[in-house]
Amino acid sequence: ADMNVHRIRQVVGPQVPICLDAAQSIGHLPVSVAGLDVDFVVFSGHKAMALPGSGAVWARGLRGPRLRPGGWSGTPNTAGIASLAAALDWLDAAGLGRIERWTVALTALLTDGLDRMDAYEVLGCRTSLAAGSRVQRRRSLVTFRHRGIDSRDLGFILFSRGFMVRTDGHCQAGRDAEEGSVRVSMHVHNTPQEVEELLATLSSLQ
């Protein structure tokens, strides 16, 4: 879903530091820190197809020197840093606008397919390609649960059939974490055929 960062700033005022977690945005759509009224932007590199363990923190103006020192590693993660630089260069060359349009279309294809199956509940905001649809646009992530199969079991079944998905609480708390869910993440390397194959597999498990 789109987050109105400017509206959040209006609510909290200018003195409250805002840290924006852009992990699910970096690598999927253009992000310009110059146009964001926030103090910090953070993201993990593996979400941008870099090596795990890489990431970045951006601080506006004098915020950086005010950070408490400590936690510096003795040996820099050189491979991770190099992989992050290469990944960001590749994404920039590929065109983040093009990537965004592609992943939104794949996400809508999966969401619409799940909506036609009574056994599944799609969680979160909606994305649809249907004419006249007013649903909120969802990018790249689809989270759902089966009404009769535990999410961990469903994830194991999908993995055994060649689909890489994530299961469980996804760093959440409360009811959603307790019940768990299956999350599908798509990117520019995924295809409509793969989405249709996933939908066919899910349909066979109703």
Tokens representing 16? 């409250």
8 Å CB contact between 139 and 107: yes
Per-residue pLDDT tens over the stretch 89-140: 999 999 999 999 999 999 999 999 999 999 999 987 654 444 444 444 567 8
- What string of DSSP letters covers 42-110? EEEGGGGTS-TT-EEEEE-GGGGGGSPP----SS--HHHHHHHHHHHHHHHHH-HHHHHHHHHHHHHHH
pLDDT for the residue numbered 114: 96
pLDDT for the residue numbered 176: 52
- CA dist 191 and 195 (Å) reads 7
Give 144's pLDDT tier (boundaries 50, 70, 90).
Answer: very high
Comparison of pLDDT for 140 and 178, the residue scoring more? 140
Lowest mean pLDDT among 120-124, 173-177, 180-184: 173-177
If you ran DSSP here, which 8-state letter would residue 41 be given? E
If you ran DSSP here, which 8-state letter would residue 195 be given? H
- CA dist 159 and 194 (Å) reads 14
Q: Which DSSP helix (H) or strand (E) runs through 122?
A: strand 120-123
pLDDT for the residue numbered 6: 86
Percentage of residues in the chain having pLDDT higher than 90 = 60
Lowest mean pLDDT among 29-33, 82-86, 127-131, 194-198: 127-131
pLDDT for the residue numbered 126: 57
Comparison of pLDDT for 71 and 117, the residue scoring more? 117
- CA dist 201 and 182 (Å) reads 14
Average pLDDT over residues 173-191: 79
pLDDT for the residue numbered 75: 84
Average pLDDT over residues 71-81: 83
Q: Write down the pTM of the prediction.
A: 0.78
Per-residue pLDDT tens over the stretch 21-57: 998 888 888 888 888 889 999 999 998 999 999 999 9
Lowest mean pLDDT among 30-39, 44-53, 73-82, 173-182: 173-182
8 Å CB contact between 48 and 81: no
User: Which domains does the chain possess?
Assistant: 5-94 (3.40.640.10), 97-204 (3.90.1150.10)
pLDDT for the residue numbered 66: 66
Tokens representing 111? 């969401």
